[in-house]
Amino acid sequence: MHNTDEQIEKAILAGADCGEYDADSSIAELEELAKSAGASVLASVVQKRERPNPATYLGEGKITEIKEQAEALEANLLIFDGDLTPSQQRNIENLTDLKVVDRTELILDIFARRAHSSEGKLQVELAQLNYRISRLGGQGKLLSRLGGGIGTRGPGESKLESDKRHIRRRINSLERELKEVEKRRSLTRSRREKNGVTTIAIVGYTNAGKSTLMNALTDAGVLAQDKLFATLDPTARTLTLPDSRKVLLVDTVGFISRLPHQLVEAFKSTLEEAANADIILNVCDASSPDCSDNVKVTVSLLEELGCSETPVITVMNKCDLIPELYSVPTFKNTVFISAKEGTGFDKLLDEISSLLPDNVHRVKMLIPFSDGGCISALRKYSTVHSQAFTADGTLLDLSALDSVLNTYKDYIIH
C-alpha cells in the first residue's frame, strides 16, 4: 500500500526463532502479508533466541545491525513477525529511527483496506480499536503518528489520540451495530433453514483459491487475486448440483497461522456461516510446501468455532501445478481439483451430493394464479424442470427438499 506521498514503503522483516513454530515459513508468510499491504520487502532477519527480549524483542546488537542495514538499503519500515508490547515498539523506534509495525498491526491494516461492506468495515474498526486500547498506556510518541501508510489506516489518527473512555464508547457503539447485523444474519439463516436451504461454506487458508473456486462453480464475480486476504466480505451464491438439487455456496474470510484473536472475535459472525453450514469445503493450496500444516490450521479454527461434527470435504486445489499427485497429503473426503483450469469439479460435486441427505423428490404442483408469488420462492429453493400455464393456474414440474415440499404441500397434484 502507498503512503500519503504515493511512495512505496520499503520494509525489512524481523523475527525471533524461539522454537515455537517454523520461523522460516512464518517469515515467508509475513513477506506475503507485507506485499499484500503494498510494501516492498528488501530483506529479512531472523534471530535464534530462547525467548524475545523484553525491551527490544531481538537483542540490542541485532537491532543495531538492522538499523545499519536499513540505512544501507534506504528502508523506512520495520515489520516484526510477532506481537510487540508498546514499550518494545517504542524502544525499537527510538533505536532505529524507523516506523515499527508488528504482525497483528500489519494484518489489521490489510483488513482495513480490503473490507468493503458496511459490516466488514465495522468488524475491522472494532478489531483495531480492541487492539489499540490495550496499548494506549506507555505508547508515547506512537500515538502521534501522522505519516500515513501501513499501520495508520482504519479508525484514523483522532481515535489513536483519544483517551480510553472515548475509545470504549466507540467500541460499545460498534458492538451494538454488529449485534444488529448479527440479528439480521441470524434471521436470514433461519429463513434458509425454514425453507430447507442447504448451505455449503468454503473455508481455508488465505490465497488457497477459494474465490476462484466460487467463481468457477457459480459465476459469482468475486475478486480473485494472488494476494493474501484479497477478499474479506462474505459472498453467497446458488449452486445447482448434478442431481438438480440447489445449495447455497458461501465464501468466508481466509485463515492464516496465528490469526490474531481480535480478528477471530471480530469476524465471528462471518465465520459463523461456516459454523452453521451443512457441509464445509476446506480449500487447500496443494502446491504449497506448507499444505499439510495449513489444513491443520483451518481444522483447528473450525473446531474452535464448534464445527467438529460438520462434514468436511478437503479440496486440494492448484493440482495443475503438481507433477505427481501422490506427493499431495490426503485426508478424509479429499478431492483433487484445479479451480483455475476447471478440472476435478465432477468429483467434487459428486462428493457434495453424497454427503447430503437423500430427501429430494420430484413432484408436480399446480399454483393458483391468486398465489403466484410463491413461484419465485419455489424457483429459488428448488429446481424447476418445466412450467406451463393452465386454466386453473401455473403447472410446475420441480425437484425440491422435503422441507420445501411440506411448505407448499397443498399445491402438489402428484
User: Which CATH number covers residue 391?
Assistant: 3.30.70
One-letter identity of residue 237: R
Residues 228, 310 within the same domain: yes
For residue 169, is it within any domain?
no
Across 239-267, average pLDDT: 74
Residue 348, SS3 per DSSP: helix
Residues 53, 92 within the same domain: yes
Q: Is the pTM of this model over 0.75?
A: no
CATH code, 233: 3.40.50.300
Residues 338, 378 within the same domain: no
Residues 201, 349 within the same domain: yes
Q: What is the pLDDT of residues 271-320, one digit of tens each?
A: 666 777 889 999 999 888 878 888 887 888 788 777 788 899 999 999 98
What cell was used for 29? Answer: 508468510
Contact residues for 257 (Cβ-Cβ < 8 A; gap 6+): 21, 26, 29, 293, 294, 297
Residues 351, 367 within the same domain: no
For residue 331, is it within any domain?
yes
Task: Give the H or E element holding residue 61.
Answer: helix 60-73
Q: Using 50, 70 and 90 to split pLDDT, how confident is the model at 242?
A: confident
For residue 183, is it within any domain?
no
Q: What is the pLDDT of residues 53-111, one digit of tens each?
A: 999 999 999 999 999 999 999 999 999 999 999 999 999 999 999 999 999 889 888 88
For residue 172, is it within any domain?
no
For residue 1, is it within any domain?
no
Residues 109, 257 within the same domain: no
First-to-final CA distance of the chain: 61
For residue 312, is it within any domain?
yes
Residues 319, 376 within the same domain: no
Residues 331, 302 within the same domain: yes
For residue 174, is it within any domain?
no
Q: What is the pLDDT of residues 101-151, one digit of tens each?
A: 999 889 888 888 777 777 778 888 888 888 878 776 544 444 444 445 666
Range of the domain at 124: 10-159
Task: Count up the domains in the chain and report the number.
Answer: 3
Residues 28, 155 within the same domain: yes
Residues 223, 275 within the same domain: yes
Note the pLDDT of residue 362: 85
Alpha-carbon gap, residue 384 to 295, rounded angstroms? 38
Residues 106, 217 within the same domain: no
